[in-house]
Structure 1
Amino acid sequence: MKQELKIQLIDTHAGGDVSRIVTGGIDALPGGSVRAQMEYLRDDADGLRKLLLEEPYGIPEMSVDLLVPPSDPRAAAGYIIMEVMGYPIYSGSNTICTATAVLDAGIVPMKEGKQDFFLESPAGLVRIEARVENGVVEAITCEGLPSYIHTHRASIEVPSIGRVIYSVAYSGGFYALVDAEALGFDLTLDEEQELARAAHRIVEAIQAETGFSHYTLGDVGPLPFLHFMGPVQQVAEGYYRSRSATYVHPGVICRSTTGTGTSARLALMDYEGLIHPGDKLETVSLRETGFIGEFSAIEQEDEYRVVKNNITGKGYVIARSDIVVNCEDSLVDCDGLHHILSSRMSQ
């Protein structure tokens, strides 16, 4: 007799960023909200994140979204976002992927045309609009978190780079926003490794010099992200396009431009008077994929101009599978997993 631990997955991607949607095999987590369940997973069962993002099952460039029961009765499902840097309370690409997966799995019945439903993230309720054509999810539009500029055009001396001008936005996490051309980058795929190295140096320098506090959330930890901005081109009335690249972890440039990176960019363009409510920005990645951010409204919170926005992208289902967790495998660390993994005994 041997113990076999299984996790059910739907692998998806949006803009090239792979999100593994965990649909089964995990026991119910304590907590009266998705946020509380996330905090339990983070503090008492972080082994699941490590298991699915490290060898032999995954790589750091992936993300994981665990489906959990929502606390808000309007939501079809809750989801907890896990990435190599930890547990972000929101992510545009992960939301697009999760929405695609719940439609694919029938958790939300798929209907032709446009349909609306809600998901519950650790940040709260998220409205989803799905566009389905011939049984295929062609686009997902989700609410981005209200975004604002915390710091505008500060400067810092960065080892081996020199003086760097940056702004800081909050859009679900704090982002440093940097002009790519000013650092000599064209934002092409062959620059990916050098972009990651430069971003790491800049983020380390900012972390060493200053911290950032959200006007309601307070201290949310050191600034983790950097968004390289290419030149903005106006391609139609109220429609703009810009090459972009988002750094999230040492050595990792996202394959997509990221939803939260796009939201941060909208906040900066509003702060600088470059866009108005109703305008759209298409961000284009190193791999020529894109998300479309729409600036929907402006609100005033304390001293901050807060940009409400929506992010549109397409998710693709790339695999449906069971992962078999073998705790006897020397590459697998099962510490902290047995109390959340549903187990089966088999021959």
Structure 2
Amino acid sequence: MSKAPIIQLMDTHAGGDVSRIVTGGIAPLPGDTVRAQMEYLRDQADGLRRLLLEEPYGIPEMSVDLLVPPTDPKAAAGYIIMEVMGYPIYSGSNTLCTATAVLESGIVPKQEGHQTFLLESPAGLVQIDAEVRDDVVESITCEGLPSYIDTYRAKVHVPGLGDVDYSIAYSGGFYALVDAQELGFELNLAEERRLAETAHAIVEAIRAQNNYTHYSLGDVGPLPFLHFMGPVEQAAPGHYRSRSATYVHPGVICRSTTGTGTSARLALMNYEGRIQPGDQLETVSLRKTSFVGKFTSVETQGDYSVVKNTITGKSYVIAKSDIVVNCEDPMVECGDLMVVLAG
């Protein structure tokens, strides 16, 4: 065991979604950008993602964020996001967790009060605004990706459900947005399994019928996400609140409402004329955790009205550990994993 490779982790969560931050044990990756390094992992060394999200080391409901040296000198650190669906180029909850880990590990020294720094995601540079009080990271605000509505109120036939109305948003990945009440959901924790089964059927039906292309990124793969929308209520002037649940294909209902899910909702509310720049939407999960999305501005890109936004939430450090990679264990598939392990 003394010769077995070791991977250092800091486990965190934001809104209930656990992000495993890989802080050490991985060799330098090829690629002159964080995006290129992500593509190398995706295409040549997917074993790291599988190791940390599958038994015996993890479960699919987790995410993994690999810290890498930034390729842009303005950034404090780079990070690559790994989930059950693969390698999203951006994630709000993972960014909240990574920013907290960067502060708690000392990569960026904590400063009392407000501080700002940049991280480099596969989608590019991300501004981080942190609030620190009594040496505790109380909140993180990160940029959401520019978000827009691709398809509004389309219809798909879903076996066992009938015709389902949905809209498609892009907010770092393509999202199917569906009305929870129209599908008979109140969005409480007891419905979690049925929400996952329903979302799986809807995503499969939409995938069989359509593929979506980003206006500048091109083909970003098959539809990976679905967001159940509860009723929107006005909690205060310029502040809205809605119960919500995000599904990741295949089979996972996120513990949080997710940052990209919240950004997708802001894009829809702008499309419907229900929100103005400066307004906020608080999305509340099945577990009553929440993120706050702020609609900061809007611009036109080709045929699309693109919403710029930020996401605010809090992340907690829940564990620091070393993973011992036992390749002789029949439950562990080392394979392409070995090419990225240090030493």
TM-score, normalised with respect to structure 1? 0.98
Contact 1:7 1:26 in 2 (8 A): yes
Contact 1:193 1:251 in 2 (8 A): no
Matched, 1:26 2:26: yes
CA displacement at 1:3 relative to structure 2: 2.5
Deviates further, 1-10 or 234-243: 1-10
CA displacement at 1:118 relative to structure 2: 0.3
The residue type equivalent to 2:123 in the other structure is: A
The residue type equivalent to 1:320 in the other structure is: K
Query: For the residues of structure 1 that align with 2:286 and 2:68, how far apart are their CA atoms?
Result: 33
Tell me: CA distance 1:2–1:238, structure 2 relative to 1, closer, same or farther (3 Å): closer
CA displacement at 1:51 relative to structure 2: 0.4
The 5-angstrom pairing of residues 59-70 of structure 1 reads 59-70=59-70
2:119 matched to which residue of 1? 119
> Which consecutive segments of 4 or more residues in structure 1 shift more than 3 A?
none
Give unpaired runs (5+ residues) of structure 1: none
Matched, 1:159 2:165: no
Deviates further, 255-264 or 154-163: 154-163
2:168 matched to which residue of 1? 168
1:200 matched to which residue of 2? 200
SS at match of 1:336: helix
Contact 2:155 2:165 in 1 (8 A): yes
2:128 matched to which residue of 1? 128
The residue type equivalent to 2:211 in the other structure is: G
CA displacement at 1:157 relative to structure 2: 1.0
Give unpaired runs (5+ residues) of structure 2: none
CA displacement at 1:340 relative to structure 2: 1.1
2:12 matched to which residue of 1? 12
Query: For the residues of structure 2 that align with 1:3 and 1:40, how far apart are their CA atoms?
Result: 26
SS at match of 1:227: strand
Contact 1:292 1:311 in 2 (8 A): yes
1:290 matched to which residue of 2? 290
1:104 matched to which residue of 2? 104
Contact 2:12 2:317 in 1 (8 A): yes
SS at match of 1:331: coil
CA RMSD of aligned residues (A): 0.8
2:221 matched to which residue of 1? 221
CA displacement at 1:136 relative to structure 2: 0.5
Matched, 1:303 2:303: yes
Contact 1:197 1:250 in 2 (8 A): no
Residue deviations 1:292-321, cap 9 Å, x none?
000000010000000000000000000011
2:250 matched to which residue of 1? 250
2:88 matched to which residue of 1? 88
Query: For the residues of structure 2 that align with 1:235 and 1:340, how far apart are their CA atoms?
Result: 48
CA displacement at 1:249 relative to structure 2: 2.2
The residue type equivalent to 1:60 in the other structure is: P
Matched, 1:261 2:280: no
CA displacement at 1:224 relative to structure 2: 1.1
1:183 matched to which residue of 2? 183
CA displacement at 1:270 relative to structure 2: 0.3
SS at match of 1:337: helix
2:318 matched to which residue of 1? 318
Query: For the residues of structure 2 that align with 1:159 and 1:151, how far apart are their CA atoms?
Result: 22
Residue deviations 1:157-183, cap 9 Å, x none?
111001111000000000000000001
Query: Taking every aligned residue pair, what percent have the same amino acid on both sides?
Result: 74
Q: What is the aligned length? A: 343
Query: For the residues of structure 2 that align with 1:274 and 1:111, how far apart are their CA atoms?
Result: 38
